[in-house]
Amino acid sequence: MKRSKAEEARLTVSRHAADLFWKHGVDGTSGEMIAAAAGLSTRTIWRYFRSKEACVEPLLREGELRFVELLKGWPRELSIEAYLRSTMPTYLADEAAVRDGVAAARIVALLPKEPALRSAWLMACSQSEAEFVGIVASRARRLPDDFDVRLCAAAAMAGLRIVDETISAAAINDGRHFELTEVTERIAAAIRAASTLPICDPVE
């Protein structure tokens, strides 16, 4: 995904914030610590973000939007299962994206203990949902502002959020290893189960 210089700067801060929250917790991390790690002034941090918890929002949003960007290439003649099986290996081929994914999973795994971070997570999920609306509209041959389209996008992305939270907690907190095939099948199953419009099979 192309990013502006400002977006790149915010993502860099976000990576540092995620690392500090993982090591020290939210209460143990200050805006000054985040600024120092990023090599910026505290004033700049507060110009970029509304709170220290919001500092992780760009990192969380990055992974969610990358996945929706992947779905934008979903051919109409393929099912969700077939498409994800063929594309998920390439989705995880970028080393930087994998590092960001691990950092994001750590933040998501912290949510039960650090509820202050949930607003940043939900903001990231909300933005991915807004992007997914266009994909649903295209596959259903409806307008993006159609209620059923918006409902389907919201339900499907909620399913994806639950998968993300479940796998992140199991992998990070419990040390469970997931093969890519299992993750792929879980994501596809969640989108299929939650979709309220018939978008998951080949469409004409």
Residue 64 domain-assigned (yes or no): yes
What range defines the domain where residue 101 resides? 56-194
Residue 14 domain-assigned (yes or no): no
Give me the residues of the chain with pLDDT under 50, please: none
Q: 40: exposed, middle or buried (C-beta count within 10 Å: 0-12, 13-18, 19+)?
A: middle
Residue 161 domain-assigned (yes or no): yes
The predicted structure's pLDDT at residue 148: 98
Residues with Cβ < 8 Å from 60, sequence gap 6 or more?
14, 104, 107, 108, 120, 121, 123, 124
Rounded Cα–Cα distance for residues 18 and 86 (Å) = 31
Q: Indicate the Cα dihedral angle 162, 166, 169, 172, nearest 10°.
A: -110
Residue 34 domain-assigned (yes or no): no
Output the six-digit token pair for 194: 């939650």
CA distances from 117 to 28, 55, 80 (A): 14, 9, 31
Residue 7 domain-assigned (yes or no): no
Rounded Cα–Cα distance for residues 203 and 189 (Å) = 18
pLDDT digits (tens, 9 = 90+) for 80-107: 999 999 999 888 778 888 899 999 999 9
Residue 1 domain-assigned (yes or no): no
Q: At 163, which CATH number?
A: 1.10.357.10
The predicted structure's pLDDT at residue 204: 79
Contacts for 39-44 with beta carbons within 8 Å, 24 or more apart?
Answer: 40/13
Radius of gyration of the chain (CA): 18
Residue 12 domain-assigned (yes or no): no
Rounded Cα–Cα distance for residues 51 and 102 (Å) = 23
- What is the residue whose two structure tokens read 């200050």? 30
Rounded Cα–Cα distance for residues 133 and 196 (Å) = 13
Q: How far apart are the first and last CA of the chain?
A: 29
The predicted structure's pLDDT at residue 90: 86
Rounded Cα–Cα distance for residues 18 and 197 (Å) = 36
The predicted structure's pLDDT at residue 132: 98
Rounded Cα–Cα distance for residues 7 and 5 (Å) = 5
Instruction: Count the domains in the chain.
Output: 1
The predicted structure's pLDDT at residue 7: 85
Residue 50 domain-assigned (yes or no): no
Output the six-digit token pair for 90: 């390439």
